[in-house]
Amino acid sequence: MDKSLRISAFKYNPVNILRMTAFWSILLQQMKIFPEHSLIKEEFEKIRLLAVEECNGEAGRKAVQKIPILVDFAQILQHLEETEEMRKVLSNGEPFPAERYPDISLELKLLYIPNSMLTTVQVLQINRIVTLTGAIFNFFKTGDVKYPLLHRHLIDVPYVKEIPEAIHAIMDDTGTVLSSASNELARLRKQLARKRVESEQIYLSVIQKYRKSGWLSEAEESWRNGRRVVSIVAEQKRSAKGIVHDISSTGKTCFIEPEETIGINNLLLSLEEEERAEIKRILHELTAFFEKVSSYPENVLSFSRSLRCGLCQGATRD
């Protein structure tokens, strides 16, 4: 066989990778030498890099990079048998949840900081890990006989369904906090919706008045400094009552916030600020709940790393 083909065949056969790992480990045990510069050490690193390439998550890659050179034969045999079980799961085409998963190490650290608050994106990251773990639990629900070595990883990892339930109660799959998350948020959003309709009606009335007077520029409406403004010809900026927020680079267009809209705009800004504050309060409350069960996400992450190590060792590339 061509040398390059032999290398390729070895690279994409994770069982061979683990067997070679075992071989080098046993050889080291017999020789009792661990020089940092030894050829054996260098070859082990090459094998480990091949396994890292098969991982589908950053946490899994970090875990594989930390795998030490094993010298205990029973431990080596155990890892080989677990890898063989994972290989069977994949080669049999079973629906094992092998999607990519996020690294939630940063999110877990935040849970130990007093008064910390997870963002909606971070909450979704945790939800992703918990959801994947739930799928793995379901996969092995009846697999304790078929895949006993992999199934035993579930023993010390209880599935806390309250976590995804708490997340789904306050936000959707895109990370948008639901109006039903609290009575106050529902009230604020209803009021905001009404005031935005009122604001739209006022602006339409002002624009119609300015159009009849011939004051409008081509653009008519725009936004400046976070405020909704009307575009008028600069010659009429003293005729139109309101706050001038900007003038175009040519000096021909003036961007004015009409006097009739200032009150409603200030009210909208105030309500929007109250909405953001209420969302923060809800996220603080959810983060506090996570703090109470912080050991569970940590166990989940550890569990995921463990199984993903087995996955990257037992998987073959397409």
Which contacts of 72-76 are long-range, i.e. CB under 8 A and separated by 24 or more positions? 72/29, 73/26, 73/29, 76/21, 76/22, 76/25, 76/26
Q: How many CA atoms lie within 13 Å of 300's alpha carbon, on the beta-carbon side? A: 30
Do the Cβ atoms of 151 and 88 come closer than 8 Å? no
CA distance 87 to 190: 54
Does residue 152 carry a pLDDT above 90? no
Higher pLDDT, 44 or 232: 232
The reported pLDDT for the residue numbered 109 is 80
Which contacts of 93-100 are long-range, i.e. CB under 8 A and separated by 24 or more positions? 94/139, 95/139, 96/136, 96/139, 96/311, 97/132, 97/135, 97/136, 97/139, 98/56, 98/311, 98/315, 99/56, 99/132, 100/56, 100/57
Does residue 107 carry a pLDDT above 90? no
DSSP 81-117: HHHHHHHHHHHTT-----------HHHHHHTTSTT--
CA distance 133 to 4: 39
Q: What does residue 253 show for φ and ψ, rounded to 5 degrees? A: -120, 135
Q: Span 183-204, mean pLDDT?
A: 96
**Helix axes of 58-65 and 295-314: crossing angle, nearest 10 degrees:** 70
The reported pLDDT for the residue numbered 24 is 55
Across the chain, mean pLDDT equals 78
Q: Span 118-124, mean pLDDT?
A: 92
Higher pLDDT, 18 or 193: 193
Does residue 9 carry a pLDDT above 90? no
Neighbours of 120 (CB within 10 A): 18
Return the closest-CA partner of residue 306 out of 63, 86, 130.
63
The reported pLDDT for the residue numbered 125 is 87
Q: Span 305-313, mean pLDDT?
A: 46
Q: Span 114-131, mean pLDDT?
A: 88
The reported pLDDT for the residue numbered 297 is 52
The reported pLDDT for the residue numbered 15 is 53
pLDDT band at 179 (very low <50, low <70, confident <90, very high): very high
The model's pLDDT over 197-226, given as tens digits with 9 standing for 90+, comes to 999 999 999 999 999 988 988 878 889 888
The reported pLDDT for the residue numbered 277 is 97
Percent of the chain with pLDDT over 90: 30
Do the Cβ atoms of 98 and 56 come closer than 8 Å? yes
Kindly state the tokens that stand for 130. 């918990």
The reported pLDDT for the residue numbered 197 is 96
The model's pLDDT over 240-296, given as tens digits with 9 standing for 90+, comes to 899 999 998 888 899 999 999 999 999 999 999 999 999 999 999 999 888 877 655
Q: Span 1-30, mean pLDDT?
A: 51
Q: Span 94-120, mean pLDDT?
A: 81
Does residue 104 carry a pLDDT above 90? no
For the ranges 104-108, 117-121, 244-248, the lowest mean pLDDT is seen at: 104-108
Q: What is the pTM of this model?
A: 0.71
Q: Render the burial of 168-182: b for 16+ CB within 10 Å, e for the rest.
A: eebbeeeeebeeebb
pLDDT band at 23 (very low <50, low <70, confident <90, very high): low
Instruction: Please report the domains of the chain, with CATH numbers, ordered by start residue.
Output: 3-96 (no CATH), 105-183+279-311 (no CATH), 184-278 (1.10.1420)
Higher pLDDT, 40 or 267: 267
CA distance 274 to 87: 54
Q: Residue 31: left (phi > 0), alpha (psi -120 to 50), or beta?
A: alpha
The reported pLDDT for the residue numbered 1 is 45
